[in-house]
Homo-oligomer: A and B are copies of this chain.
Amino acid sequence: MSLTRIHNLSISLDGFATGEPQSEEAPFGHAGERLHQWMFATRFWDSGGSAGVDDAFAERHERGIGAEIMGANKFGPPGWQDDASWQGWWGPSPPFHTPTFVLTHRPRPPVEMEGGTTFHFLDASPAEALEAAGAAADSQDVRIGGGASVVRDFLAAGLVDHMHLVQVPIVLGRGVRIWDGLEALEEDYDIEAVSSPSGVTHLTFTRG
């Protein structure tokens, strides 16, 4: 059966998956790239990187995924909807390599990129988006790609089978927090924590 999965979602100690304000120059606001340094140091990201526990988690991002769903705030900076030429942050060959569904209240026609990524734009509820992505995923799993508010919406709707968070030892103080509105989330999941020598802690949530 096809699963809905979240991978490599990095958060601060205080639960923020991005800082503020977000802009084209600073996609993660005052967080910069501090939430993602752990990943840049893995072999998944850089062939000269580490192959330890951080890498073991990181590389699962790709495996068995047939489609991604992402929020408007992941696809572009505030206001990208006003720029008809905006095709995401990732250049002509985005790293998704699957149908990729962008949730936005202002949908536009699909865009086929190089390397197997096609962006589809949907104004839809989490359940509707998951139905569309599941149909496009060729019996493989669907990844919820973020950002934090989209992840929260899918969790609140009970639609997530597996979630991998990476807690980075910084206190951001402001931004978009993953935890709001998720009281008692632990009742639906087996939760495991493992700290890495890099300083981050991997948290996995597996539907019980």
Binding site for B on A (CB under 8 A): 13-15, 167, 169-174, 179, 181-186, 191-195, 199-201, 203
Contact = CB atoms under 8 A, between A and B. Distances in A.
A28 to B, nearest CB: 15
27 contacts: A13-B15, A13-B179, A13-B186, A13-B203, A14-B15, A14-B179, A15-B15, A15-B179, A169-B186, A169-B193, A169-B203, A170-B186, A171-B183, A171-B185, A171-B186, A173-B181, A173-B182, A173-B183, A173-B184, A174-B183, A192-B199, A193-B195, A193-B199, A193-B200, A193-B201, A194-B195, A195-B201
Sorted nearest first, the 4 A-B pairs with minimum C-beta distance are A173-B183, A14-B179, A169-B191, A171-B185
- Count of chain copies: 2
Nearest to A189: B169
Contacts of A203: 13, 169
A24 B96 CA distance: 54
Contacts of A174: 183
Contacts of A13: 15, 179, 186, 203
Contacts of A201: 193, 195, 201
A195 to B, nearest CB: 4
A14 B167 CA distance: 11
Contacts of A170: 184, 186
Contacts of A192: 199
A185 B171 CA distance: 6
A76 B157 CA distance: 39
Contacts of A186: 13, 169-171
User: Which residue, A179, A184, A199, A201, has most C-beta atoms of chain B within 10 A?
Assistant: A179
A181 B36 CA distance: 23
Given A169-B193, A173-B182, A194-B195, 18 more contacts: A13-B15, A13-B179, A13-B186, A14-B179, A14-B182, A15-B15, A15-B179, A167-B193, A169-B186, A169-B203, A170-B184, A171-B182, A173-B181, A173-B183, A191-B199, A193-B195, A193-B201, A195-B195
